[in-house]
Amino acid sequence: MLILALVFGATFALAQDHDHGSHDGHDHDTHETHQPHNDDHAHADDHGHGGSCGDHHEDSGYDPVSTVMNHIADANEFHVWKGVHIPLPLFLYAPDHGWTTGLSSMFHHGHQAVDRYVINHGRVNRVADDSFPMGEVHIDGILHKVEEVNGKNKDVYYVCAKGELFKLDPPSTVDGGFLGGGITSFYDFSITKNVFTLFLAAILLIFVWNAVARGYKKNEGKAPSGIQSFFEVFFVFIRDEVTKPMIGEKHYERFQPFIMTLFFFIMFINLLGLVPFFPGSANVTGNLAVTLVLAVFTFLVTNLNGKKDYWEHIFWMPGIPGWVKIILTPVEILSLFIKPFSLMIRLFANISAGHIIILSLIGLTFLFGDNGQNVGGAAGGALIGGLFTAFMNLIELLVALLQAFIFAILSASYIGAAVEEHHHDEAHAH
């Protein structure tokens, strides 16, 4: 209840915040919009202190796309407002160097490299060059270039130190290079903004459900009260509308904890993501890594509990001619993977899209304001953007609950199909 109230409050606070923020001209987003971040992280670069680094001057106009993309991305520090960052713990692993730990504040917001690691747009990068010294090194700035790699244009970042440029590696990703990432010289196991939000959601969930479970002990044989009666509605709803009809009377009890965990884990993270200030605002379920893990759990729970009938229907569908089976079996095998894949994409796309739309609407202020040149335009943009943002936040609130529900009910239906036992006649009716 508290979180719902918080989100409602935050929705309007956000709208108001941006109405006022635009007049002051220095709120959180204004700061972020100076595209290359260099005026915050790398003054030296932008203002031409660093010799060779100064040659690569960048346009400093408002780039809405990169601003939005930077906001929905994961980060190694929690940006609160201009110049105020909450540092987060770092656990970095480079195969050729071993583990490096610390706090993200050790990078001095991009002015210092530590053991070849630097912070770039809120994310830890590593200097791949062995000639770069270890330990703490002052850096003059971070430079952005577009280079052609294997026939594709790619963003490449360089760190500028001691008058020289060193290429930066982003953290490794496991997309196999298909999505523009790949394995680089280090892995980032840090408590990032997203991981922090995961922990926060986990702690909130455990706190809330512990209170609810205590209520059942305290009020045994009595009517439920307080927080217990509020969350009982959800529990009974998931049981009666999701697990019972989808999985069936016989098996639903075994899967109720899993479906409940999915629903509440996703819902709490989604709602935290809608809170526009610390400790919320992280785009966690809008990150493919998170939805991938959740979908994999559903895949594992479904298929590890698959009964004989389920596998029979996949590999050798009974009651149809042989030549149809040859076509149907590959389709069924594909569907094994397409189902969790669709879960992964649906949640990711919905939440990411929501964050992108809200950030774009707020970005209208700066776009109409011509990057601080046109106060009237900024006011107009803030008004329109603020109103639309308030409206979008209400929709996102619905989406946050709905997507958690959809993920839970679809997972339940996949599990239901796996544990269902067909009667013999029914099997032949196919």
Listed in sequence order, the residues at least 6 apart from 140 whose beta carbon sits closer than 8 Å to its beta carbon are: 42, 44, 45, 49, 50, 53, 160, 161, 163
Among 60, 352, 371, 413, binds another protein (CB under 8 A): 352
Listed in sequence order, the residues at least 6 apart from 353 whose beta carbon sits closer than 8 Å to its beta carbon are: 286
Q: Using the rule CB under 8 A, is 289 a contact of another protein?
A: yes
CB nearer to another protein: pick between 50 and 363: 363
Among 29, 46, 77, 188, binds another protein (CB under 8 A): 188
Among 107, 166, 348, 414, binds another protein (CB under 8 A): 348
Q: Using the rule CB under 8 A, is 58 a contact of another protein?
A: no
Q: What is the closest distance, in whole angstroms, from the C-beta atom of residue 362 to another protein in the complex?
A: 18
Q: Using the rule CB under 8 A, is 174 a contact of another protein?
A: yes
In angstroms, the CA 160 to CA 164 distance is: 6
- Classify each residue of 338-371 as buried b or exposed e, where b means 16 or more C-beta atoms within 10 Å of its C-beta: ebbeebbebbbebbbebbbbbbbbbbbbbbbbee
Q: What is the closest distance, in whole angstroms, from the C-beta atom of residue 420 to another protein in the complex?
A: 21
- Cis link prior to 89 (omega < 30° from 0)? no
Closest CA to 33 of 284, 364, 390: 364
Q: Using the rule CB under 8 A, is 263 a contact of another protein?
A: no
CB nearer to another protein: pick between 44 and 88: 88
Q: Using the rule CB under 8 A, is 108 a contact of another protein?
A: no
Angle at 320 between CA 314 and CA 321, to 5 degrees: 115
Q: Within 10 Å of residue 73's Cβ, how many Cβ atoms?
A: 17
Residues between 124 and 153 with contacts to another protein, criterion CB under 8 A:
146, 153
DSSP 8-state symbol, 369: T
Burial class (CB in 10 A: 0-12, 13-18, 19+), 321: exposed
CB nearer to another protein: pick between 75 and 390: 75
CB nearer to another protein: pick between 22 and 291: 291
Q: What is the closest distance, in whole angstroms, from the C-beta atom of residue 426 to another protein in the complex?
A: 29
Number of residues binding to another protein, judged by CB under 8 A: 70
Q: Using the rule CB under 8 A, is 360 a contact of another protein?
A: no
Which H or E run contains 17?
helix 2-24
Stretch that binds another protein, among 101-109, 203-211, 331-339, 410-418 (CB under 8 A): 203-211
Stretch that binds another protein, among 21-29, 46-54, 63-71, 393-401 (CB under 8 A): 63-71
Phi-psi region of 101 (alpha: psi -120 to 50; beta: other; left: phi over 0): beta
Q: Using the rule CB under 8 A, is 91 a contact of another protein?
A: yes
Among 175, 241, 421, 426, binds another protein (CB under 8 A): 175
Q: What is the closest distance, in whole angstroms, from the C-beta atom of residue 286 to another protein in the complex?
A: 6
The two tokens of residue 264 are 């509440």
Q: Using the rule CB under 8 A, is 233 a contact of another protein?
A: no
DSSP bridge pairs for 62: 34
DSSP 8-state symbol, 171: P
Q: Using the rule CB under 8 A, is 283 a contact of another protein?
A: yes
DSSP-based three-state secondary structure for 420 = coil
Q: Within 10 Å of residue 159's Cβ, how many Cβ atoms?
A: 28
Q: What is the closest distance, in whole angstroms, from the C-beta atom of residue 96 to another protein in the complex?
A: 17
Stretch that binds another protein, among 38-46, 100-108, 130-138, 249-257 (CB under 8 A): 249-257
DSSP-based three-state secondary structure for 419 = helix
CB nearer to another protein: pick between 42 and 294: 294
CB nearer to another protein: pick between 171 and 381: 171
CB nearer to another protein: pick between 166 and 186: 186
Among 1, 4, 134, 206, binds another protein (CB under 8 A): 206
Q: Using the rule CB under 8 A, is 363 a contact of another protein?
A: no
Closest CA to 350 of 234, 264, 270, 263: 270
Q: Using the rule CB under 8 A, is 194 a contact of another protein?
A: yes
Q: Where are the beta strands (DSSP E) in 223-344?
A: none
Residue corresponding to tokens 């979908």: 295
Q: How far is CA 253 from the centre of its chain?
A: 31
Among 60, 261, 329, 413, binds another protein (CB under 8 A): 261
Note the residues at the interface with another protein (CB under 8 A). Answer: 63, 65-66, 69-70, 72-74, 91, 123, 146, 153-155, 170-175, 179-181, 187-192, 194-195, 198-199, 201-202, 205-206, 209-210, 212-213, 216-217, 220-221, 232, 235-236, 239, 253, 256-258, 260-261, 264-265, 283, 286-290, 292-294, 296-297, 348, 352
